[in-house]
Amino acid sequence: MSKVFIAGQIPDAASELLQKAGLEIDTFSVEGLIDQATLKKGVAEADFLITPLSTKVDAEIIDAAPKLKLIANFGAGFNNIDVEYAKKKGIPVTNTPFVSATSTAEVTTGLIISLSHLIVEGDQLMRGAGFNGWAPLFFLGHELSGKTLGIIGMGQIGQQVAKRMHAFDMPILYTQRHQLPKAREVELGARFVTKDELVKNSDIITLHIPDTPSTHHYLGAAEFKAMKKSALLINAARGAVIDELGLLKALQDKELAGAALDVYEKEPKVDDGFKQLKNVILTPHIGNATVEARNAMATIVATNCIAADQGEEIKYIVNK
């Protein structure tokens, strides 16, 4: 009987499918992240590894699993895995793309609205000193209608964000390596521009790109200086696509008006400087934290393990 080691608690949808397929399951069920020693022990006899994207699977872990035939990453990203070394060992690595697009787009939309209308600041105020009553100039935010949204990365998530924010009557600029078909641009109300044009002309900028060598610190000090002083920045992609220290300084120097961060460069650590700023919203990487998205992700990792065990096609291989 083939063995699956699950390196963290994931939805029951996965174990139900695996058990039905006759696979033996061993799960790290302790709250928190698995340590490397326990992970090594867990994969020693495993045919398949299901791992959260927060768990590092390096060459040492891969070498500790001589029977390993698949690493199924529970997440759209896969920076936590040494995919090239796995490829050398003949081990496919898969991820769970697409299914988190709706959830992440909804969270991004929520962050944009909350930041623009000072909703989180208002909540904090009411839990503390409170207010003296409605007044014409009190606690003024900004409407989204007519403001320009800049989307960096118009993949599945970026397009879902554009679809939602187009309904708010926001002109949309986007940049990425390739332009979308004209018909899709019209549908989304989006215009393809250079990075510099987007940074200069957007009232709100949201990132939806992976963390790769070419996107590392995609936005840094130079871009923050070029942005409007009234601009807002949203990052629900990967922490390292922005220079966090540069962003913190730009916010402190009032080079831009605010930011909402769901991901962090040294996650789970958050620089204390951000915590001191009222114009910053901080959330704990909840972009795809919905029952629907996580169940769909669980189904993908389990289905890929079953396919690998039965010699069928494995989907979403990232290291072919």
Report pLDDT for 77.
87
List, in order, residues 6 or more apart from 251 with CB less than 8 Å away. Answer: 258, 259, 274, 277, 279, 280
**Would residue 290 be called left, alpha or beta, if left means φ above 0 and alpha means ψ between -120 and 50 degrees?**
beta
Q: What are the residue numbers of the active site?
A: 238, 267, 285
Could you please state the CATH topology (level 3) that the domain comprising 3-99+291-309 is classified under: Rossmann fold (3.40.50)
Report pLDDT for 317.
98
Report pLDDT for 98.
93
10-residue mean pLDDT series, the chain (320 residues):
97 97 96 95 98 96 98 94 97 96 98 98 96 95 98 98 98 98 98 98 97 96 98 97 98 97 95 97 97 98 98 96
Whole-prediction pTM: 0.92
List, in order, residues 6 or more apart from 216 with CB less than 8 Å away. Answer: 240, 241
Domain 101-282, CATH number (from 3.10.450.50, 3.40.50.720, 3.30.950.10, 3.90.105.10): 3.40.50.720
- For 228, the token pair is 């409007």
d(CA 292, CA 286): 13
Report pLDDT for 44.
97
In the chain, which residues fall in CATH 3.40.50.720? Answer: 3-99+291-309, 101-282
pLDDT in tens, 216-274: 999 999 999 999 999 999 999 999 999 999 999 999 999 999 999 999 999 999 999 99
Report pLDDT for 257.
98
